[in-house]
């Protein structure tokens, strides 16, 4: 039995990973988000289920509890998630909407905090310190969840994606300032305390800037020659800033985020993400499972009215604030709803804030465990909110369409969207392309010389580029029914679905064939099942670029083996070489 006494942490980690794996399998079968699987895994192996059975292995209780070691690994999970977000962050892209996201984020956090204080004044349940902690906990949204979902759905460069990331990046900066202040609430309004905090933040950012400017370019240019050295360099950069944050009394999550930002402008930033992905996913899994473990039934005495208020703030008030801010700045009701629903959750930083203020929150029985439940539930609900935005949009318009029309159709509230549209009024016998990236824009530039062409894409930069090139364009996704009507598919002669993922265009193809049976539909697919689904939906021709490329590759190799003449294979003329040079300049990757 003595031999087993030192492996309690190992057993806990084993249970966490085993449960996460099993529930992830179940989630895949049921087509549910993996995040939800991890939280349920934590509930099962935590005190509520497995821990309550009193099972033992070699005298050691089976069932994971939130020991100090597990909590540290969990916090490391948050740190590495925020490091990856920092690496992918491009603050230069905030220039376009910097004013909107900065003022909007500060306003939203302030209004949310004030609302908590107002309700607490009316209910008279919490102390001032508890209200302050609670206001900050529910005010921030999850950068980790939103960025992951946007990345998985290829919506990072959409308008709503950029707005959400902008709001979240500003919130992350606010959290960096808030966490040290919360350590001593009595001095929160002290000019000296705030001044010292500003100096510490400035020091951390100055170190990040110096490393980014003078050290990292040379170090990583050398390290990239060895996969092992590159991986260790990326990993070490995280811990350098974690140590610096510790010395400056910041959380490790703050340091990891700044470490990511320090690497974000390097040409190897995406390679860094690739190398540390395994470590990040391992630690992130521990974090999300730990959330589930901390869900306990001890909040039965928690005031119901306060629970209703907090749920209402997270799922109604916050989305409404973001919706109004987005609308007032001219991004339209659809984008506003996407932003609002996408940010209707509580942040992973809130988990850190709650842990930091646990002694204060525990003064009200059930408050801390309820907050953990709220964090976990709001994160788990986010994939559904973001995935069913169009459903909610259509439902709201069916119920309140007439009342909302003066607002949703207002030029002032749709100014930014209208600027991203140059569709002719009388479209007839034209070609419609959904997906204006490399494939779609290439098709439009060639066929547009002799035919009337319309290109729809949900990347604002792609739309702007097409409009500058004189191509009639519009901003919208392939599942946007409003864009289907604007593109006038009833009178079109060809529909080209050039988006990478076939499932995103299935509804579009079905609609197009329904309103215009004679319409010729050309589509693109990445997977064989996607190509088959496109044909079942009514597509007339489906291309799989990688299959075509593979066949051409084989054909050229076979041709050389047969003739032995390499000159017949060298069909890459100077024009194509120049095209490659121009495209390569825009790629921020290490090949």
DSSP state of 422: -
Specify the pLDDT at position 397: 79
Task: Please tell me whether residues 500 and 579 are part of one structural domain.
Answer: no
Measured distance CA(182)–CA(113) in Å, rounded: 14
CATH number of the domain that residue 441 is part of: 3.40.50.720
Task: Please tell me whether residues 376 and 430 are part of one structural domain.
Answer: no
Q: Show which of 342, 372, 393 is a domain's final residue.
A: 393
**Inside any domain, residue 308:** yes
CA-based nearest residue to 300, from 355, 363, 361, 369: 369
Specify the pLDDT at position 489: 92
Task: Please tell me whether residues 148 and 233 are part of one structural domain.
Answer: yes
**Inside any domain, residue 24:** no
Task: Please tell me whether residues 496 and 383 are part of one structural domain.
Answer: no
**Inside any domain, residue 193:** yes
Q: Give how many domains the chain has, as a whole number.
A: 3
Instruction: Tokens 């559904």: give the residue.
Output: 384
Specify the pLDDT at position 326: 92
Task: Please tell me whether residues 260 and 111 are part of one structural domain.
Answer: yes
Q: What is the pLDDT along the chain (591 residues), one digit of tens a residue?
A: 444 445 777 778 888 899 999 999 998 888 777 777 888 888 888 877 776 555 555 555 666 666 677 778 888 887 887 788 788 776 666 666 778 888 999 999 999 999 999 988 888 888 888 898 999 999 999 887 887 788 777 787 788 888 998 898 888 878 877 777 777 666 666 667 777 778 888 898 899 999 988 999 889 889 888 889 999 999 999 999 999 988 887 778 788 888 988 888 888 887 888 888 888 888 888 888 887 787 766 656 678 888 899 999 999 999 999 999 999 888 988 899 999 999 999 987 787 788 778 888 888 888 888 888 888 788 888 988 988 888 888 888 787 777 777 777 777 888 888 888 888 878 888 999 998 877 888 888 888 888 888 999 988 888 888 888 888 889 988 888 888 988 999 999 999 999 888 888 899 999 999 999 999 999 998 888 888 999 999 999 998 888 888 887 888 888 888 887 777 666 655 666 776 677 666 654 444
Task: Please tell me whether residues 570 and 507 are part of one structural domain.
Answer: no
Specify the pLDDT at position 341: 94
Do residues 361 and 368 touch, judged by C-beta distance below 8 A? Answer: yes
Specify the pLDDT at position 368: 84
List Cβ neighbours of 12 (8 Å cut-off, separation of 6 or more). Answer: 64, 65, 67, 69, 70
**Inside any domain, residue 310:** yes
**Inside any domain, residue 83:** no
Measured distance CA(386)–CA(366) in Å, rounded: 30
Task: Please tell me whether residues 371 and 433 are part of one structural domain.
Answer: no
**Inside any domain, residue 37:** no
Task: Please tell me whether residues 105 and 173 are part of one structural domain.
Answer: yes
Specify the pLDDT at position 106: 92
Question: What is the torsional sign of CA 60, 62, 67, 70?
Answer: positive
Q: How far is CA 89 from CA 138, 258, 383, in A?
A: 24, 10, 21
**Inside any domain, residue 320:** yes
**Inside any domain, residue 68:** no
Task: Please tell me whether residues 509 and 570 are part of one structural domain.
Answer: no
Question: What is the torsional sign of CA 330, 331, 334, 335?
Answer: negative
Residue 537 is inside which H or E element, if any?
Answer: helix 528-537
Task: Please tell me whether residues 142 and 198 are part of one structural domain.
Answer: yes
Q: Show which of 523, 541, 559 is a domain's final residue.
A: 541
Task: Please tell me whether residues 211 and 318 are part of one structural domain.
Answer: yes
Task: Please tell me whether residues 499 and 571 are part of one structural domain.
Answer: no
CATH number of the domain that residue 259 is part of: 1.20.1530.20
Boundaries of domain holding 450: 423-541
Q: How far is CA 312 from CA 204, 250, 347, 517, in A?
A: 37, 31, 16, 47
């Amino acid at each position: 039995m003595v031999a087993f006494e030192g492996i309690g942490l190992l057993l806990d980690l084993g249970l966490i990973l085993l449960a996460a794996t099993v529930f992830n399998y179940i989630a895949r079968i049921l087509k549910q988000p993996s995040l939800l699987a991890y939280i349920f895994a934590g509930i099962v192996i935590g005190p509520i289920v497995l821990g309550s059975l009193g099972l033992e292995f070699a005298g050691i209780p089976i069932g994971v509890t939130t020991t100090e070691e597990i909590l540290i690994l969990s916090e490391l999970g948050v740190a590495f998630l925020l490091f990856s977000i920092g690496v992918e962050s491009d603050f230069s892209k905030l220039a376009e909407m910097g004013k909107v996201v900065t003022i909007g984020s500060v306003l939203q956090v302030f209004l949310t905090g004030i609302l908590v204080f107002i309700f607490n004044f009316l209910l008279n349940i919490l102390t001032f310190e508890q209200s302050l902690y609670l206001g900050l906990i529910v005010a921030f949204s999850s950068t980790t969840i939103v960025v992951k979902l946007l990345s998985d759905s290829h919506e990072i460069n959409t308008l709503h994606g950029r707005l959400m990331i902008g709001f979240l990046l500003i919130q992350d900066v606010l959290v960096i300032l808030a966490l040290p202040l919360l350590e001593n609430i009595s001095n929160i309004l002290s000019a000296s305390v705030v001044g010292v905090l500003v100096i510490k933040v400035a020091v951390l950012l100055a170190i990040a800037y110096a490393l980014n400017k003078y050290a990292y370019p040379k170090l990583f240019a050398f390290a990239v020659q060895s996969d092992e050295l590159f991986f260790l360099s990326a990993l070490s950069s995280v811990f350098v800033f974690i140590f610096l944050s510790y010395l400056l009394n910041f959380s490790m999550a703050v340091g990891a985020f700044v470490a990511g930002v320090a690497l974000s402008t390097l040409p190897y930033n995406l390679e860094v993400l690739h190398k540390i992905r395994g470590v990040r996913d391992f630690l992130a899994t521990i974090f999300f499972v730990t959330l589930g473990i901390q869900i306990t039934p001890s909040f039965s005495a928690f005031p119901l009215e306060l629970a209703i208020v907090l749920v209402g703030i997270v799922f109604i008030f916050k989305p409404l604030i973001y919706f109004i801010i987005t609308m007032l700045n001219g991004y339209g009701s659809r984008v506003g709803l996407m932003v609002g629903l996408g940010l209707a959750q509580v942040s992973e930083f809130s988990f850190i804030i709650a842990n930091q203020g646990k002694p204060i929150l525990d003064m009200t029985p059930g408050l801390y465990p309820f907050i953990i439940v709220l964090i976990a539930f709001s994160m788990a609900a986010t994939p559904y909110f973001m995935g069913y935005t169009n459903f909610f949009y259509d439902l709201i318009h069916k119920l309140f369409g007439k009342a909302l029309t003066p607002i949703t159709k207002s030029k002032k509230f749709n100014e930014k969207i209208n600027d991203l549209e140059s569709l002719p009024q009388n479209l007839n016998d034209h070609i419609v392309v959904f997906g204006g990236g490399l494939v779609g824009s290439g098709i439009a530039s060639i066929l547009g010389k002799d035919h009337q062409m319309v290109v729809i894409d949900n990347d604002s930069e792609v739309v702007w580029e097409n409009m500058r090139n004189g191509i009639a364009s519009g901003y919208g996704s392939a599942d946007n029914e409003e864009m289907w009507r604007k593109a006038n598919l009833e009178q079109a002669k060809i529909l080209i679905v050039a988006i990478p993922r076939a499932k995103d265009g299935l509804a579009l193809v079905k609609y197009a064939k329904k309103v215009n049976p004679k319409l010729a539909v050309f589509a693109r697919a990445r997977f064989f099942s996607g190509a088959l689904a496109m044909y079942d939906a009514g597509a007339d021709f489906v291309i799989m670029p990688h299959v075509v490329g593979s066949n051409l590759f084989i054909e050229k190799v076979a041709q050389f083996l047969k003739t032995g003449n390499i000159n017949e294979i060298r069909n890459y003329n100077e024009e194509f070489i120049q095209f490659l040079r121009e495209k390569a300049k825009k790629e921020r990757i290490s090949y």
